[in-house]
Structure 1
Amino acid sequence: MVITGYGLIAPGIRNKQQYKRALERGLCAQEVMPGMGPNGIDIICGRIHDEPISDRRYRHYPRVAHLAIAASEEAAQMAGIHGADKFQTTVIMGTSVGGLIEMEAYAHLTASKQYRRFPIAMAGSGNPHSLSVAVAQHMGLKGQAFTLSTGCTAGVDAMLMAKMMLESGQADICVAGGSDAPITLGSIYSFMRLGAMSRSSQVERAGMPFSSESDGFVMSEASGIVVMELESHALRRGAAIYGILAGIHSNNDGLSIFESDATGRNMTEAMQRAVGSVSPTYVNSQALGMKINDRVEAITHRHLFGSSIPITSIKGNIGHSFASIGNLQVISSLLSMEYSFIPATIKTDAKGFDDLPIVMKTRYEAVEHVAVSTHGYGGNNTCLLLSKYREAG
Structure 2
Amino acid sequence: MKKVVITGIGTVNSIAKNCEEFVKGLKDMKIGIDKITQFDTTDHKVKIAAEIKDFDPQKYLDKKTAKRYDRFLQLAIAASDEAIKDSGLENDGEWKENAAVIIGSGIGGFKTLYHEFHVMEKKGPKFVSPFLIPMMIADMASGVVSIKHQLKGPNFTTVSACASAVHSIISSVMLIKSGEVDVAITGGSEAVIDPMPIAAFANMTALSQRNDEPQKASRPFDKERDGFVMGEGAGVLVLESEEHAKARGAKIYGYIAGYGMTGDAYHISQTDPEGTGAARAIKNALDMAKIDPSEVDLINCHATSTPVGDKSEVRAIRNVFGKNATNPIMQSTKTLIGHSLGAAGAVELIASILESQNEFAHGMPNLDNPDEEMKDLNIPKETKNQRIDVVLKNSFGFGGHNASLIFVRD
**What is the TM-score when the length of structure 2 is the normalising length?**
0.91
Q: Which amino acid aligns with 1:308?
A: N
The equivalent position to 1:344 in structure 2, one of 363, 366, 375, is: 363
Q: Does 1:222 align with 2:225?
A: no
* Structure 1 unpaired stretches of 5+: none
Q: How does 1:138-153 map to 2 (within 5 A)?
A: 138-153=148-163
Q: What amino acid is aligned across from residue 218 of structure 1 in structure 2?
A: V
Match of 1:45 in 2: 49
The aligned residue for residue 287 of structure 1 is: 303
> What is the CA deviation profile of residues 138-157 of structure 1, one whole-angstrom value per residue up to 9, with x for unaligned ones?
11212221111111111110
Bigger Cα displacement from structure 2, 317-326 vs 35-44:
35-44
Relative to structure 1, the CA distance from residue 217 to residue 250 in structure 2 (aligned partners, 3 Å threshold; closer, same or farther) is same
Matched-pair contact (CA < 8 Å) for 1:314–1:346: no
Deviations 1:35-65 (A, max 9, x none): 8558345522011122342122332011111
Which whole-Å CA distance do the structure 2 matches of 1:345 and 1:243 have between them? 25
5 Å matches for 1:228-239? 228-239=239-250
CA distance in 1, matches of 2:214, 2:123: 41
User: Who is 1:365 aligned against?
Assistant: 386
Q: Which residue of 1 aligns with 2:317?
A: 301
Q: Which residue number in structure 1 is paired with residue 71 of structure 2?
A: 63
Cα distance, 1:250–1:76 mapped onto 2, change above 3 Å: same
- Aligned partner (choices 55, 66, 77) of residue 85 of structure 2: 77
The yes-or-no answer on 1:310 pairing with 2:329 is yes
Shift of residue 254, structure 1, vs aligned partner? 1.1
Segments of 4+ moved more than 6 angstroms: none
Superposed, which structure 2 residues align to 1:1-393 within 5 Å? Answer: 1-33=4-36, 39-41=43-45, 43-54=47-58, 55-56=62-63, 57-82=65-90, 83=92, 84-111=94-121, 114-201=124-211, 202-276=213-287, 277-278=291-292, 279-303=295-319, 304=321, 305-349=324-368, 350-352=370-372, 353-389=374-410
1:280 positional shift: 0.6
Shift of 1:19: 0.3
TM-superposed deviation, 1:340? 0.8
Task: Give CA deviations for 1:340-381 in whole Å, capped at 9, x if unaligned.
Answer: 111112222223331222121111121110111111111111
8 A Cα contact 1:205 1:347, kept in partner: yes
Whichever residue aligns with residue 387 of structure 2, its letter is A
Q: Deviations over 1:213-254 (max 9, x none)?
A: 111000001000000011111001111101111111111111
- Verify the 8 A CA contact 1:52 1:70 in the aligned structure 2: no
CA distance in 1, matches of 2:133, 2:404: 34
Ranges in structure 2 where 5+ consecutive residues have no aligned partner: none
Q: Give me the TM-score of the superposition, normalised by structure 1.
A: 0.95
Report if the CA contact (8 A) 1:37-1:199 is conserved: no
AA partner of residue 240 (structure 2): E
Aligned residue-pair number: 389
Structure 1 196/93 Cα, relative in aligned 2: closer, same or farther at 3 Å? same
CA distance in 1, matches of 2:113, 2:387: 46
State the SS of the aligned residue for 2:31.
Answer: coil
The one-letter code of the counterpart of 1:152 is: C
Matches of 1:203 and 1:2, distance apart in 2: 38
Structure 2 SS opposite 1:355: coil
User: In the alignment, is the contact (CA less than 8 A) between 2:34 and 2:215 conserved in 1?
Assistant: no
Distance 1:159 1:196 in 2: 26
Q: Is the 8 A contact 2:46 2:199 kept in 1?
A: no
- 1:111 shift after superposition: 3.6
Once residues 141 and 298 of structure 1 are traced to their aligned partners in structure 2, the CA distance between those partners, rounded to angstroms, is 40
> Does the CA contact (< 8 Å) of 1:216 and 1:291 recur in 2?
yes
RMSD: 1.6
| Percent of residue pairs identical | 28
